[in-house]
Amino acid sequence: MKSVCFYFQVHQPYRVKRYRIFDVGNDAEYFNDRGESNLNNRKIIEKVARKSYIPTTQLLLELLRRHPEMRISFSFSGVALEQLERHAPEVIELFKQIIDTGRAEVLGETYYHTLAFFYSPAEFESQVTKHRDIIRRLFGARPRVFRNTELSYRNDLGEWADRAGYTGVIAEGWDPILGWRSPNYVYKPKGAANARLLLKNYRLSDDVAFRFSSRDWSEWPLTSEKFAAWIGSAEGDTVNLFMDYETFGEHQWEETGIFNFLEKLPEELAKNPGLDFKTPSEVIATYEPRDEVDMPHIVTWADTDRDLTAWTGNPMQKAAIENIYALENDVHLANDAKLLEDWRKLQTSDHFYYMCTKWFADGDVHAYFSPYESPYDAYIAYMNALSDLRLRVGKRR
């Protein structure tokens, strides 16, 4: 028997408005754009809810009813859940219905969708705890498997997850790390005694998430029958299909046929008696690890490099991320809840992603996801907001 493990990431950041140098010292609100641009966070969350979250979750609920054997898993950033509670509460109710079926697992992560693990262990722990609290409050669940922001992983994250009591961590199944090995097995993280490592099958996952509507792709159009056949012929114990939830309806529009594809996929998979569905925890409980995986350097699921260069690859990004974490001690000494909250929202990895200046295919992806006209506009708005935050911190000390 071979398992199919679906994992969907739900995240929306608080985008920084076009914060000008003249606003520094005069405007302490960084995320409250009310115009018609893509910096209006309410507008974006309502649009994504309408195009993606609501139809996809309604479809998954129906599929779970039709196919009792089906299993799925999610992780939700805390900042996405906050915005959904405020602007699209019907989405939260749909997610609750999904989780109440008992066939959907919720994974742990950082509340603010940050890279804090690599910059501040104490801040990372605080954000994980806050995330655990909102998952308990909204869904009555306690995450047993962990995913770090952008699937960023290094050996010490596996060691941390093991100490923290998680049964597993998910990461990218990147060829240079795996060598001859397949991502379709459970692995033991180097340095961890009990936790396990589940690796994304990036080829099959990205066939749906990125290539589904590409007419230049040799396999276009991708049908559920074809995709189920690929999964059935894959070697290994588990095929881990990890992707952004916005794949359905937002990144791949309804007109591409993505919802029809998703609707028919469980039926096509069920035709193969050698396949079943499992959540990450069920995969870990079922299959023994085949080997130990050593990731001494950071691996992510972004760009062709699969490292942190999507967020820290140029001087603007490095300056921004180093400056925000440099404020940590002063922010805590200020003892101001609003300051702390704004500082944490400014840690969200998307801000640095928008500053990326890569070219070719990676650059196209960054440009698609960015609400700014250029990486330089993203940097200017962010650094101006950071300057104001620094002024506010100074006044509180």
Known catalytic residues?
A: 150
> Helix H segments across the chain?
41-48, 54-66, 78-87, 89-100, 121-139, 155-163, 175-178, 202-209, 224-233, 258-270, 280-286, 309-312, 315-326, 328-334, 337-345, 350-353, 360-369, 375-396
Give me the DSSP letters along 144-173: -EEE-GGG-B-HHHHHHHHHTT-SEEEEE-
The CA-based dihedral angle spanning residues 83, 89, 93, 95, taken in that order and rounded to the nearest 10 degrees: -30
List the beta bridge partners of residue 200.
172
Q: How many CB atoms lie within 10 A of CB 36?
A: 8
Give residue 248's identity as a one-letter amino acid code: F
Residues 6+ apart with CB under 8 A from 337: none
Distance CA 286, CA 336 (A): 47
Closest Cα partner for 112 from 103, 124, 120? 124
Give every CB contact of residue 303 below 8 A, 6+ residues apart in sequence.
309, 310, 358, 362, 365
Rg (C-alpha) for the chain, rounded Å, is 21
Specify the amino acid at residue 301.
W
Q: Are 95 and 140 in contact (CB under 8 A)?
A: no
User: Are 348 and 116 spatial neighbours (Cβ–Cβ below 8 Å)?
Assistant: no
Q: How far apart are CA 36 and CA 222, in angstroms?
A: 35
For the stretch 116-121, contacts whose Cβ atoms lie closer than 8 Å and that sit 24 or more positions apart, written own/partner, are 116/325, 116/347, 117/148, 117/149, 117/152, 117/157, 117/160, 118/152, 118/154, 118/298, 118/308, 119/321, 119/325, 120/325, 120/328
- Written as six digits, the tokens of 370 are 């960015």
Largest CA distance in the chain: 66
